[in-house]
Amino acid sequence: DAKTTQPNSMESNEEEPVHLPCNHSTISGTDYIHWYRQLPSQGPEYVIHGLTSNVNNRMASLAIAEDRKSSTLILHRATLRDAAVYYCILRPTIYNQGGKLIFGQGTELSVKP
Amino acid sequence: NAGVTQTPKFRVLKTGQSMTLLCAQDMNHEYMYWYRQDPGMGLRLIHYSVGEGTTAKGEVPDGYNVSRLKKQNFLLGLESAAPSQTSVYFCASRPTGRSVGNQETQYFGPGTRLLVL
- Please tell me what DSSP assigns to residue A5: B
pLDDT of residue B102: 45
In chain A, the residue whose alpha carbon lies closest to the alpha carbon of B31 is A98
From the list A41, A46, A98, which residue is nearest B105 (CB)? Answer: A46
**Residue A2's pLDDT is what?**
65
**Residue A34 contacts B, CB cutoff 8 Å:** yes
B103 and A32 within 8 Å at the Cβ level: the answer is yes
Question: Is the Cβ pair A99, B106 closer than 8 Å?
Answer: yes
Q: What angle do CA B21, B22, B23 make, to 5 degrees?
A: 125
| pLDDT at B108 > cutoff 60 | yes
Residue A100 has a pLDDT of 76
Determine, for residues A100 and B108 on separate chains, whether the beta-carbon distance falls below 8 Å.
Answer: no
Instruction: List the Cα angle B109/A109/A104 in 5-degree steps.
Output: 60
Q: What gap in Å lies between CA B52 and CA A98, rounded to an integer?
A: 14
pLDDT for the residue B100: 44
Which mean pLDDT values do the consecutive 10-residue runs of chain A (113 residues) have? 88 96 91 93 92 91 96 96 95 67 90 96
Nearest to A98 among B48, B99, B109 (CB): B48
Alpha-carbon distance B63 to nearest alpha carbon in chain A (angstroms): 20
Does B51 score more than 70 pLDDT? yes
Q: What is the C-alpha to C-alpha distance for residues A35 and A55, in angstroms, rounded to an integer?
A: 12
pLDDT in tens, B67-89: 999 999 999 999 999 999 999 99
CA of A113 vs chain B CAs: smallest distance (Å): 24
User: According to the model, what pLDDT value does residue B97 have?
Assistant: 59
pLDDT value, residue B23: 98
Instruction: In whole angstroms, give the CA distance from residue A22 to residue A87.
Output: 9
The minimum CA-CA distance between A95 and chain B, rounded to whole Å, is 6
**pLDDT above 70: percentage of residues in chain B:** 92
CA distances from B11 to A38, B62, B65, B76 (A): 22, 20, 18, 14
* Per-state percent for chain B, helix, strand, coil, to nearest 5: 5, 45, 50
pLDDT (mean) for B14-19:
97
A chain contacts of residue B98, beta-carbon cutoff 8 Å: 95
- CB contacts of B51 in chain A (<8 Å) are none
Does residue B43 belong to the interface with chain A, where contact is any CB pair within 8 Å?
Answer: yes
pLDDT for the residue A91: 82
**A52 in contact with B, Cβ within 8 Å:** no
Distance between B15 CA and the closest CA of chain A, angstroms: 25
